Structure 1
Amino acid sequence: MNRIFTQKLNKNGLLFGDGAMGTMLYSRGVFVNTCFEHLNVSRPELVRQVHEEYAATGVDFVKSNTFGANRLKLSRYGLGEQTEQIVSAGVKLARESCRPDMMTAASIGPLGVDIGSYDKALRAKAAEVFAEQVKISADAGADVLLFETFSNCDELICAIEAASASCDLEIIAHMTINDSTETDYGSRIDESMRCVCRYENVAAVGLNCSTGPAAMLESIELVRGAVNKPLSVQPNAGYPRNVDGRTLYMCTPEYMAEYAKRFYEKGAQVIGGCCGTTPEHIAAIINAVRPIKKSVTYKQPAIKIPAELAERLEPAPLETKSQFGAKLAAGEKVISIEVSPPRGFELSALIEKAKLCKDRGACTINIPDGPRASSRLSAMVTALMIEQQCGIETILHFCCRDRNIIGMQSDLLGIQATGLRNMLIVTGDPPKLGDFPDATAVFDLDSIALIKVIRELNRGIDIAGKSLGRRLELVIGAGANPAAAEPEREIQRYRQKIDAGAEYFVTQPVFDDESLLRFLDAAGGSVPVIAGIWPFSSLKNAEFMANEVPGVSVPERLLERMSKLKSREDAIKTGIDISREMISRIEDTVAGFAVSAPFGNVNIALEAAGL
């Protein structure tokens, strides 16, 4: 059997497929009543262009434009006699568009007829149709067969058996589901996938189409528990909506990327997209998941601590490390104002904002490190200049994305040497498409591993287990997301961060106090938690937080409240009111608040904080 797919999957551990062909062709003016597969011969340059755009994102395989290129479906367009020409051209176009190291997956869809084991004649005819398309695809150079969007398990099995008798290619077998985790024929998806896994030539199983990524996440868990094959997912970009007579898929690339990370965490080893997805969606998925895969598979450095050194160097108490640490240790409420470093190198405006925050009574200035994978002035330099020129402490975010372990230790030693003390350790957002589309991520460590490193540095032991002679005195903070889509996993990581050495937490912006209270009650622990607060400045800003920022949940009632406002002034005032209401509801539960300054406007943040 030709096992190129399995060999690549075993080697890489994770493979990325492309996105929708029909969506791309439709966006280029091809009418929906056109036979899209016939474009392989009538407009090959258009199909090739789509393949090349997907290939440029860095996928591991592209799908041929042959989903409905079987004799039965083509006959409806009067093209049945051109089946071989259309299928062969489709596979060759995909192959010619690929890099040498990429695979071509022959896309094969259902026939659209009700195949049951009771109708032997119909089943035999279906097998003949599938076998023809499979053989043409294999002869044209396909590396793997992708059976997708099947809702009838009997029909999928018929296709698999026909493929087994026609060629030696492996199969990725996809079914489609509804919101009840069932097929359109009422079968449980886990039971259907269990039947499909019996076939040797099936190399991976999973789901595609039908629902958006959120609904598919629950179903993939069911499948994972039922099968012994690698999992593959290719969701739509959400549910289609009709806008001015056009069918549109509303999920943004960033939204898809966030769910792709969750699919990977749930065990998916093959990830791509279906209806509504574009090269932008696929690029975002790859940029989000590939660095995480690297960090997960990286062997974390073992920090060997000689017993005599560990006994001799005790970490400094929290209350002695900084004024901020002393307030946390004493149980005093802390107010931090978050301001991002500038994109250039001019700091005078930011210094004035920091002075204003100090004069109004803020405890610290919170400095993000490359927020949303952007390139800005060094967060460490920004924090140092603020502390030196304004006399107010900072909380320095420290991101795992941009440094290897050698660079991390060097920077941490530098932070100690310059007098900075308060840290917030974050794994970091993977690089996104934007100003630096070719940027790579390091991710030698994630936030939990880095917290462990700093804990040992605070005992005078470096990453290699050698004595530094003196201990560092850094206050170790970590992030938490009370509204995480997977609360159990977030709680687990929260506890792991405490065990690793976290001394306080700062949450993602909180817009739903009930989610925060549930999270804190379930997580337990005595480590201070500072709630993130984001004052809306407009409806557009509120919608951006709701739809574009991973890990943030904005209740519909708040969006509706913001939508009723007519002026910018009313929007800002209402945003401040919403933040104050949130602070009032949770102030007895948390250690303080980290209030963001929307678009750098610290006056809004100070008003929201009541300063």
Structure 2
Amino acid sequence: MTFLERLQDEIMLGDGAIGTLLYARGISGSIEDANRHEKEMVISAHKEYIAAGAQVIQSNTYAANALKLDNYGLAKQVTTINAEGVRLAKQAAIGEDVFVAGTIGGIRDGRASHFSNDEVKTTTETQAEALLSEHPDAILLETYYDLHELVQALRIIKRLSPHIPVISNISLGDVGVLHGGIPINDALLRLANEGADVVGINCRMGPAQTIASLEEVSLPEGVFLSAYPNASLPGIQDGRLVYQSNPEYFKSQASAFREQGVHLLGGCCGTTPDHIRSFREKLQHLSPLRKPRAKVSAAWQQQAADIGETIDLHKKESSMIVELDPPKSLTKMDKFLQGAEALHDAGADAVTLADNSLATSRIDNLAAATLMKQQTGAHPLLHIACRDRNLIGMQSHLLGLHALGIRDVLAITGDPTKVGDFPGATSVYDFTSFDLIRLIKTMNEGFSHSGRPLGLETQFKVGAAFNPNVSSMDKAAKRLEKKIVAGADFIMTQPIYDIETMERVKEATAHLDIPIYIGLMPLINGRNAEFLHNEVPGIHLTDEVRQRMSACGKDVQKGEEEGMAIARDLQAAALDLFGRIYLITPFLRFHITAALTNEAKAHSSQRSSV
């Protein structure tokens, strides 16, 4: 039975990230060059995925094109590396009921490219010829941010080998849309009309956002849908992107992929054989489903709080900071200001604004804070990420904040750009959050980073972020101590979802004479809870909380009420233990955090009167 015939009646499993396995085994530099020098290691990686249940494995040739290999001085090895990649995959598949796809990855990454269209076209054609010379069962085109480039690659394959099945996977800029605002369904239909046999999504997003995007998709008969999600949104550790290890979560999401009509399901960045094995355990013996029509769903926005929050009302015995992120759309600015006013009226001591959290472009938080301050009287507390500004821009930004009368800031590292809606953008990271805290303190002494007098001492109060959702609270507390030594005036934590963790934070920080704001983010439904737990680095929900939210099903009102109930209990405990909380507004639903703010104020009044 051919590859396409198999897709008719069963959900076939692809493999996961071969680069993840090879990196773990010590391969550095060009992963694809392992096809020449570490053949047994590459074969072993393929076999691990086959053993886990993969029925379609891809050659280790994702970036084996002349333009990318040239970074390693390997541009002349394109033919060898690609041909060997297919041969090694075929060798691993001997005796197995497995298909081999020759893989070509996109060259443009979502930003302006200095490569001409002719260069990209020639490079793709050379790689395709090398792969096809070894007669793979299919060609996989993956991680294309540029629809034009993907269509061009598809045409090249169909011209060189008209009958070979082609899988064409696009990567999205945001949920449901490509860069440039092209709806996902329009893009996939275009690819189907160009002759792609399988169309779908890979990379950039974890399961939840991938599934949400697939809700927009409805394909004609004879065209199959594929999905290769990342393990999660990436975090950054020791300068490298890292992903959540969450095979059980993948298993829980498998049915949702089936419900969206997926026929070919694998994994991308951060996924391992364990993730594929989880898909197999859930989907084996199940046939694919076909949606009768596209579901129309509002673009499922996600703004999980990531790192950082603060303010400077530390001399008060009890205080509250509430986060309200600037909107992505100009049309939502009135709602943002309405929310800021509601939070101010509810008694929030400060409204904190993230700095393009999750590396997603929003209205500039300085502009939003200035309007908020002018029109509502709310006290702004701005997050400042190291990601987006070099040293020159950062100091200029801080001077501008001070000139506008904004004094409270939170110094954070910032999510890597690969997380966001411009994944090809460059992360600056001229310095760390520790360095940023020190820079702000130097400016408070009246000097620039270079030692030049500023003519005036700035008066910033600077906060630092703290993630208590870690295996070693002692190590986290040691890191926190270093931020205090650097000059942090207060601390804001990542969201916490259990009282036990709060108590551990209290114990670990008892020796620190610094205000600590406990982060709380109300949940709105089970899907939101699972996304935060499994895909957002630095956030952990207890089994009890996840079960409570899951029990609400799709009842919007019930989900919101249960999320409020959970947050209310956590808030009371946080106020009793620390006297300060940091509420994070979910999806601009400020009525939730305004109500909690009112309750917190009443709770604090009762405590002070006792």
1:68 Cα offset (Å): 7.2
**TM-score of the two chains, using structure 1 as the length reference:** 0.53
The answer on whether the counterparts of 2:63 and 2:105 sit within 8 Å (CA) in structure 1 is no
Q: How does 1:119-268 map to 2 (within 5 A)?
A: 253=230, 255=232, 257-258=234-235, 261=237
Secondary structure class of the residue paired with 1:531: strand
1:578 matches 2:592: no
Within 2, Cα distance between the matches of 1:503 and 1:381? Answer: 25
Provide closer, same or farther for how the CA distance between residues 265 and 464 of structure 1 changes in structure 2, counting only shifts above 3 A: same
2:516 aligns with one of 529, 534, 542? 529
Match of 1:457 in 2: 443
How many residue pairs end up in the alignment?
Answer: 375
1:539 matches 2:553: no
Within 1, Cα distance between the matches of 2:490 and 2:105? Answer: 54
Match of 1:344 in 2: 329
Secondary structure class of the residue paired with 2:514: coil
The answer on whether the counterparts of 2:474 and 2:508 sit within 8 Å (CA) in structure 1 is no
Within 2, Cα distance between the matches of 1:96 and 1:334? Answer: 51
Give me the CA root mean square deviation: 4.5
Over residues 367-386 of structure 1, what are the superposed CA-to-partner deviations in whole Å (9 max), with x where a residue is unaligned? 00001000011111111111
Read off the aligned partner of 1:334 and give its amino acid letter: S
2:379 aligns with one of 393, 408, 413? 393
Secondary structure class of the residue paired with 2:453: coil
Within 2, Cα distance between the matches of 1:429 and 1:560? Answer: 29
2:482 aligns with one of 496, 501, 521? 496
Match of 1:126 in 2: none
Within 2, Cα distance between the matches of 1:433 and 1:265? Answer: 10
1:334 matches 2:334: no
1:598 matches 2:575: no
Match of 1:448 in 2: 434
Q: How does 1:414-433 map to 2 (within 5 A)?
A: 414-432=400-418
1:262 Cα offset (Å): 6.4
- For structure 2, the 5+ residue unaligned runs are 1-22, 35-41, 75-80, 109-133, 135-205, 208-226, 243-264, 272-309, 600-610
1:17 Cα offset (Å): 3.5
1:609 matches 2:609: no
1:505 Cα offset (Å): 0.8
Within 1, Cα distance between the matches of 2:357 and 2:30? Answer: 26
Within 2, Cα distance between the matches of 1:254 and 1:96? Answer: 19
Provide closer, same or farther for how the CA distance between residues 58 and 263 of structure 1 changes in structure 2, counting only shifts above 3 A: farther
Read off the aligned partner of 1:495 and give its amino acid letter: E
1:17 matches 2:31: yes
Provide closer, same or farther for how the CA distance between residues 263 and 17 of structure 1 changes in structure 2, counting only shifts above 3 A: farther
The answer on whether the counterparts of 2:63 and 2:69 sit within 8 Å (CA) in structure 1 is no
Q: Give percent identity, aligned residues only.
A: 26
1:64 matches 2:85: yes
Over residues 343-382 of structure 1, what are the superposed CA-to-partner deviations in whole Å (9 max), with x where a residue is unaligned? 1335222111111111111111110000100001111111
**TM-score of the two chains, using structure 2 as the length reference:** 0.53
Provide closer, same or farther for how the CA distance between residues 68 and 509 of structure 1 changes in structure 2, counting only shifts above 3 A: same
Secondary structure class of the residue paired with 2:477: helix
Read off the aligned partner of 2:31 and give its amino acid letter: G
Read off the aligned partner of 2:319 and give its amino acid letter: V
Over residues 515-557 of structure 1, what are the superposed CA-to-partner deviations in whole Å (9 max), with x where a residue is unaligned? 2321332243111000111111111111111111110010011
The answer on whether the counterparts of 2:311 and 2:321 sit within 8 Å (CA) in structure 1 is no
Secondary structure class of the residue paired with 1:546: helix
The answer on whether the counterparts of 1:339 and 1:366 sit within 8 Å (CA) in structure 2 is yes
Comparing 580-589 with 456-465, greater Cα deviation is found at 580-589
Read off the aligned partner of 2:324 and give its amino acid letter: V
Match of 2:158 in 1: none
Secondary structure class of the residue paired with 1:330: coil
Match of 1:548 in 2: 535
Read off the aligned partner of 2:591 and give its amino acid letter: N
Comparing 433-442 with 411-420, greater Cα deviation is found at 433-442
Match of 2:366 in 1: 380
2:421 aligns with one of 435, 443, 458? 435
Match of 2:115 in 1: none
1:442 Cα offset (Å): 0.2
Provide closer, same or farther for how the CA distance between residues 461 and 431 of structure 1 changes in structure 2, counting only shifts above 3 A: same
Within 2, Cα distance between the matches of 1:478 and 1:410? Answer: 20
1:340 Cα offset (Å): 0.9
Match of 1:480 in 2: 466
Provide closer, same or farther for how the CA distance between residues 66 and 535 of structure 1 changes in structure 2, counting only shifts above 3 A: same
The answer on whether the counterparts of 2:62 and 2:105 sit within 8 Å (CA) in structure 1 is no
Read off the aligned partner of 1:261 and give its amino acid letter: Q
Provide closer, same or farther for how the CA distance between residues 68 and 438 of structure 1 changes in structure 2, counting only shifts above 3 A: closer
- For structure 1, the 5+ residue unaligned runs are 1-8, 37-45, 78-88, 100-139, 141-236, 239-249, 267-275, 283-322
Within 2, Cα distance between the matches of 1:519 and 1:538? Answer: 27
Read off the aligned partner of 1:516 and give its amino acid letter: M
Within 2, Cα distance between the matches of 1:395 and 1:54? Answer: 48
The answer on whether the counterparts of 2:234 and 2:241 sit within 8 Å (CA) in structure 1 is no
Match of 2:203 in 1: none
